[in-house]
Amino acid sequence: NSFLTRTNTCGELRSAHVGQEVTLYGWIQYQRQGLFLVLRDFQGLTQIIIPQDEAHSHVKKLLSNAPVESVVRVTGIVSPRPPGQENPKMPTGDIEVKAETAEVLNSCKKLPFEIKDFVKKSEALRMQYRYLDLRSFQLQYNLRLRSQMVMRMREYLCNLHGFVDVETPTLFKRTPGGAKEFLVPSREAGKFYSLPQSPQQFKQLLMVGGLDRYFQVARCYRDEGSRPDRQPEFTQIDIEMSFVDQAGIQRLIEGLLQYSWPEERGCITTPFPSMTYEEALADYGTDKPDTRFGMKIVDISDFLRRSDIQFVQNALSYPCGTVKAICIPQGVRYFKNKDLESLKESAKSQFNQEVMEIICRPDGSLKSVLTKFLGEEQQSELIQALNMQVDDVVLLAAGEHKRVCSALGSLRLESADLLEAAGLVLRDPTTFHFLWVVDFPLFLPKEDNPTELESAHHPFTAPHPSDTSLLYSDPTKVRSQHYDLVLNGSEVGGGSIRIHSAEQQHFVLEKVLKEDSEVLSHLLEALEFGAPPHGGIALGLDRLISLIVDAPSIRDVIAFPKSFRGRDLMGNAPDYVTPEELEPYHIQVSWPLAEKEAKQN
């Protein structure tokens, strides 16, 4: 307060201040019958007693008539609240301020919604009036916690470990592969900048430049549709180091998160557990497993191989054929018939995978179309293999390994949603399960053309040292030095050891990915000038903070986010520009006919 004209904030007055004259500034949160009001600022709330005597009638009139959310200055004396009127839920609940003078600095017009966390309002309305939404306690808390964590991260990296904070360019050129990038026109006809989806190339070039340790709170851009955990512009904690291996990066990040972790969220223990990509897929059906609850996928191929079930035998006859299942605890008690049908339909529509259910009756017997193919002894073995209890429901799938695992992994999460909606708590939002996922494949078949390969991470990721020779003979079998950090089933970080050989990088781009390496000629050339071995990682700051505060969307931890469709509803961006404004960029807009007529009308 030494810089300001107020003496105190609305959140700091206590019994020790009784008798002092104070000047407070804030917003009127609540006013009752001209008797008192509650004043709010960034730090908290203070009850203001409106004077009732004739000498202060102008103060009473001013404060009684001021609309809610008006900004006022109040000067008065701190007094203890009358016995029995204390409010233990408010930090300032033992005192009140008896107003002596007041001034309305800015009156508030009729609000589009109440500034209260418990009042439901549409997200579109919240985005349109974001400056009002920011006054809510929850958004204030989220943004302040975010600021504190970033400050602690800077301390850890720069002050304790000698990292250099470097700002890299926002205007650059297209990067091959990966996400779609936003284009920015230049005044040179036909030439465009790209907004980088990450500072990947620059941080590698900084290692070539000998900076040794780089860090940045980096703004990144992707021209993709929004999802609850995606935004067209987002923030990463971006890190790169020279002369480091995978274990070194992992230790650094574990230390960084431990150092910056909010005290009120408890302690996190290190080292974080680790799991290979293949293990994650086999046990959880995803490369970002939520390990807060069980219901792991169980392989029962060997057990059913002896059965006479035709579809099982058909599945197992293929090279990657498998039979797997998940056991849903108390599924009979919590699921309705429509829930089971919905789960089976989900597997069919999303993964083209048939799923069968097996139910454990109260007498311990099994109910399923499969039981007629299984003897009592085999049924008993199945119950044991899946650790089934009374009222459990098992979902079984047979087919190609990856598809079966992916389908059951998705059903595992959908089942958890259904169980929690019915009242069974499986995933405690106050517990934090970190996990490293390692040994990803270096390349994956393209979805639209499986005969061609694309990078599983990005084209600069180095192959696993044990698999380097396979790069040149069978790239589909090469594991990468790529590692992801997963928290409660969400990916919050990803990184890799990079290729530091120009020859190897050229081979990956040209021969494996069939990309034009000319667009990366600057990086390839840099690698020829004594590039050190290096690696790094980027943490998704928005997603990390949203998980820590249990926000339903990353939009709740960003001050001015874009809408689900990537629009700024407050400023109405993106917006049209005139042909005259486009002229220096040698661009003309080709309007679809219907839109052209709408604009003319």
Angle at 417 between CA 411 and CA 420, to 5 degrees: 135
Q: Is 243 helix (H, G, I), strand (E, B) or coil?
A: coil
Own/partner pairs, 449-457, CB within 8 angstroms, 24+ separation: 452/514, 453/512, 453/513, 454/177, 454/513, 455/177, 455/178, 455/513, 456/480, 456/482, 457/482, 457/494, 457/496
How many Å apart are CA 248 and CA 495, to the nearest integer?
12
Distance (Å) of CA 208 to CA 495, 498, 503, 528, 551: 18, 12, 16, 10, 39
Which two tokens mark 504?
Answer: 């190897």
How many Å apart are CA 207 and CA 273, to the nearest integer?
29
Kindly give, in sequence order, each residue whose CB lies less than 8 Å from that of residue 96, ignoring residues fewer than 6 positions away.
Answer: 36, 46, 47, 48, 49, 78, 79, 80, 81
CATH of 141-275+434-556, one of 3.90.1510.10, 3.40.50.1370, 3.40.50.300, 3.30.930.10: 3.30.930.10
Distance (Å) of CA 209 to CA 249, 340, 461, 523, 527: 20, 58, 19, 12, 11
How many Å apart are CA 386 and CA 389, to the nearest integer?
9
Kindly give, in sequence order, each residue whose CB lies less than 8 Å from that of residue 310, ignoring residues fewer than 6 positions away.
Answer: none
The topology (CATH level 3) of 293-422 is Gyrase A; domain 2 (3.30.1360)
Distance (Å) of CA 236 to CA 253, 314, 432, 483, 494: 13, 47, 20, 16, 10
15-106 and 141-275+434-556, same CATH topology: no
What is residue 110's DSSP assignment?
Answer: -
Confirm if 396 and 324 have CB atoms less than 8 A apart: yes
What is residue 384's DSSP assignment?
Answer: H
Q: Which of 192, 138, 226, 249 is nearest to 557 (CA)?
A: 138
Angle at 436 between CA 167 and CA 413, to 5 degrees: 110
Taking 3-state DSSP, the helix, strand and coil percentages for the chain, each rounded to the nearest 5, stand at 35, 25, 40
Superfamily of domain 15-106: Nucleic acid-binding proteins (2.40.50.140)
**What is the pLDDT, as a whole number, of residue 598?**
59
Kindly give, in sequence order, each residue whose CB lies less than 8 Å from that of residue 405, ignoring residues fewer than 6 positions away.
Answer: 281, 282, 285, 297, 322, 324
Confirm if 483 and 436 have CB atoms less than 8 A apart: yes
**What is the pLDDT, as a whole number, of residue 178?**
65
**What is the pLDDT, as a whole number, of residue 80?**
97
- DSSP states of 67-106 as a string? PTT-EEEEEEEEEEPPTT---TTSTTTTEEEEEEEEEEEE
**What is the pLDDT, as a whole number, of residue 371?**
84
How many Å apart are CA 142 and CA 271, to the nearest integer?
27
- pTM for the model: 0.93
Distance (Å) of CA 222 to CA 180, 225, 263, 275, 445: 6, 9, 33, 29, 22
**What is the pLDDT, as a whole number, of residue 179?**
74
How is the chain split into domains, by residue range? 15-106, 141-275+434-556, 293-422
| Under-70 pLDDT residues of the chain | 1, 177-178, 225-229, 593-601
Confirm if 117 and 85 have CB atoms less than 8 A apart: no
Q: Is 231 helix (H, G, I), strand (E, B) or coil?
A: coil
